[in-house]
Amino acid sequence: MSAPLALSYVLPLRWATEQHLDLTGYLHWLAAHVDEVIVVDASPDESFDRHGMVWRPYATLVRPDPALHLRNGKVAGVLTGVTLARHEKIVIADDDVRYERDGLQRIIDLLGDAELVRPQNYFQPVPWHAAWDTARSLLNRAFGRDFPGTLGVRRSVLLATGGYDGDVLFENLELIRTVRAAGGRVASPLDLYVERRPPDAGHFWSQRVRQAYDDFAIPPRMALWLVLAPAAAAGARISPRVPAAAAGAAIAVAEAGRRRGGGTAVFPFRSALAAPLWLAERSVTSWMALGSRLLFGGVGYAGTRFKRAASSRASLERKYGGGASSDAKEGHTWHGKGGSSRGDSKTTSSAKSFARSTGPGRHVPQRHRESARGAHETNVRAGEECLRRFPKETKPAARRTRTGGRRGWTRGV
């Protein structure tokens, strides 16, 4: 068997019901292929104890840092895990994500030239509601990139920025924008496919309005969804051919996204056919999300209410305009609000210097099993020292990531 990969795998979760059989097998596999697996478990005490009996042979199981008072519990889990991680290169993944070794190795390789890697998830198996939701991914791919449930990130970047905002709903977009605002490069290969287990149909329906609310973070998209249903109704009054033509155009666009990066190997054609249904659903649920924002001040999720979907790119560019050092110099902790930016190719001077000077896994040597709070304080001091030692610098533009011909590692390809 090959040696474990020099990588920390951080898995934040909070379960109200027991569903650990499939995840236990995956953690067993991860333990053989990844040097460090950290599960940050915010489940109730009884569930946490049961998880410990099953998972501790394969992973470090910890509670979220109690010093982190964040609305978004996933962000608290991520920042706790990043604090404890002993490797510079980290994979953050939801509990329904299922990597293979070649995919993890590719993320390690890409993190050699980038500060964040954005893979592409696909559902396996693909029940009807997963095919429906996959239409969203195909439309995103047609015009750019999708938003996955897993990311690869360099630990030093998050140390240098003081974390990212944990009081927003769309936490993965917040993390991506934080890295970009701090000057980091984001690699988004279209053909880095990673399996994801679909939710049950009940959970799928429960997430419709919450996912629509995410698009408040991208105002042009939200405006489009709000206009879509009235426009379709107006077109239908003119001629029934208008909505039929629009549906055909939606299928064609989704199919274009399916064909990018060899996606036909993992995305079924019926997902492209579902594009009109997904657009109709998103148009209706966007109005419901708007109503929730106006009437209740936000959308309910995980026992709390969120008003902000994510920080704007402009606000985060102002925050990190002087490099990633602003929060660390002011002594901010992981409570620092995260960032955003357009996808420029400038690198984070302080974060990259930090990574080069300390090397992977040397920020808190032999302390990764301390309490998250104690390790975090050590990391903040290390980050402040690094930022004092390394002045702002300019690095050459990032090399373009080559995405073709790397699909052989995915299951079923």
* Rounded CA separation 59/40 (Å): 10
pTM for the predicted model, two decimal places = 0.78
Cβ proximity of 325 and 183 under 8 Å: no
Query: Which ranges in 56-170 belong to alpha helices (H)?
Result: 73-84, 101-110, 128-143, 155-161
Residue range(s) of every CATH 3.90.550.10 domain in the chain: 5-199+313-389
88/111 Cα distance (integer angstroms): 10
| 118 vs 188: CA distance, rounded Å | 5
Token reading at 233: 């109704």
Structure tokens at 331: 């002594």
Confidence at residue 24, expressed as pLDDT on a 0 to 100 scale:
92
User: For residue 339, what pLDDT is reported?
Assistant: 33
The pLDDT value given to residue 382: 40
- Residue pair 155/90 in contact (Cβ under 8 Å)? The answer is yes
Q: Are 186 and 115 in contact (CB under 8 A)?
A: yes
Angle of the 241-259 helix axis to the 275-296 helix axis, nearest 10: 100
Nearest to residue 22, comparing CAs of 153, 198, 201? 198
- What is the enclosing helix (H) or strand (E) of 152? strand 150-154
CB 48 within 8 A of CB 63: yes
pLDDT at residue number 332: 31
Q: How many Å apart are CA 233 and CA 119, to the nearest integer?
A: 37
**pLDDT at residue number 128:** 97
Residue 385, Cβ neighbours under 10 Å: how many?
Answer: 14
The CATH code that applies to domain 5-199+313-389 is 3.90.550.10
Query: Do residues 353 and 390 touch, judged by C-beta distance below 8 A?
Result: yes
8 Å CB contact between 319 and 326: yes
- Residue pLDDT tens, the chain, 413 long: 789 999 999 999 998 776 666 899 999 999 999 999 999 999 999 999 999 999 999 999 999 999 999 999 999 999 999 999 999 999 999 999 999 999 999 999 999 999 999 999 999 999 999 999 999 999 999 999 999 999 999 999 999 999 999 999 999 999 999 999 999 999 999 999 999 999 999 999 999 999 999 999 999 999 999 999 999 999 999 998 999 999 999 999 999 999 999 999 999 999 999 999 999 999 999 999 999 999 999 999 888 999 999 999 999 999 988 454 333 333 333 333 333 333 333 333 433 433 333 333 333 323 333 433 443 344 434 434 433 433 333 333 333 333 333 333 333 32
